[in-house]
Amino acid sequence: MQKRKLGKSDLEVSAIGLGCMGMSHGYGPASDKKEMISLIHAAIDRGVTFFDTAEVYGPYVNEELVGEALAPYMGKVVIATKFGIQMVNGKQVLDSNPEIIRQSVEGSLKRLKVDAIDLYYQHRIDPNVPIEEVAGVIQELIKEGKIKNWGLSEAGVETIRRAHAVHPLTAIQSEYSMMWRSPEEQLLPTLEELEIGFVPFSPLGKGFLTGAIDKNATFDSSDFRSIVPRFKPENIEANQVLVDLIKKIAAGKDATPAQIALAWVLAQKPWIVPIPGTTKLERLEENLNAVEVDLTPKEFSDLNDALSRIEISGERYPAEYANRVGK
């Protein structure tokens, strides 16, 4: 497995990481814990060193899963987790008050079975707490040895600049794929300028870019996609033009659609590390083999030209979630 560095930090990770959320949260009923631990171990055997979780996934159970799975590999892997979303009466509430951050750190350290968190993201920007105050608390936690690096998830570029000025950010996490290219407008140029790494989640468009989802697809009520406008039947049908394009390129490269989608993300910048998630070994192997798919400059350029002519139907978040991003 190839390695990449996140920005100008010393944090070196596998070129493709593993998003662990879907193992216990967000994409239907939780998977069997023993099977998921085996899957995480299989990822390590195949060279993955970068694993992503969060306090709110479950909540808590995903961190516990990751902590148990990775305990034998401490010092050989990098774990990213997140703070800033609390569950209150079954609803997600943004809370990055200093005392909450400190409580979250202690909980995550315990569940992950580590002495220090390798990469700690603010999960969403809290409009009630200035980012400078959040960064100040993080700076203290770094001095205390509880955090090694920090980042922001789904933050706007001005917030990124303000946070970075207090204490340098190692990475920004946001959605990015052939299906959601908005980060190319402001985010990627800003990260390049500030030398901050980029960790795209949902690089496969929440599964859509694999080509396995059509207008007849149904989603369990515990699957986040059941409330996402992008996954309404009429939008799935309208967006098949993108899948058709990817399938055509995949056939010519002896690759799968998922591998083309991931290779495209990897080809953007050398400091980008996507974190596709899965609960299946065959999908894991398929995703990891995307590092072997080499898009020539002409193929990459032609693909971008074709993508620019495709208009994606359906928002990526329902309204209640959409107003929490890009802050």
Residues classed as catalytic? 57
Return the SS3 of 170.
coil
Distances (CA, A) of 166 to 98, 150, 154: 15, 12, 19
Distances (CA, A) of 327 to 124, 128, 156, 324: 8, 12, 5, 7
Q: Residue 20 corresponds to which tokens in the numbers above?
A: 């662990």
Task: List all residues 6 or more positions away from 139 whose beta carbon is below 8 Å from its beta carbon.
Answer: 166, 167
Q: Residue 19 corresponds to which tokens in the numbers above?
A: 């998003």
- Which helix (H) or strand (E) segment is 79 a member of? strand 78-83
Quick one: three-class SS letters along 25-43?
CCECCCCCHHHHHHHHHHH
Q: Is the peptide bond before 59 cis (omega within 30 degrees of 0)?
A: yes
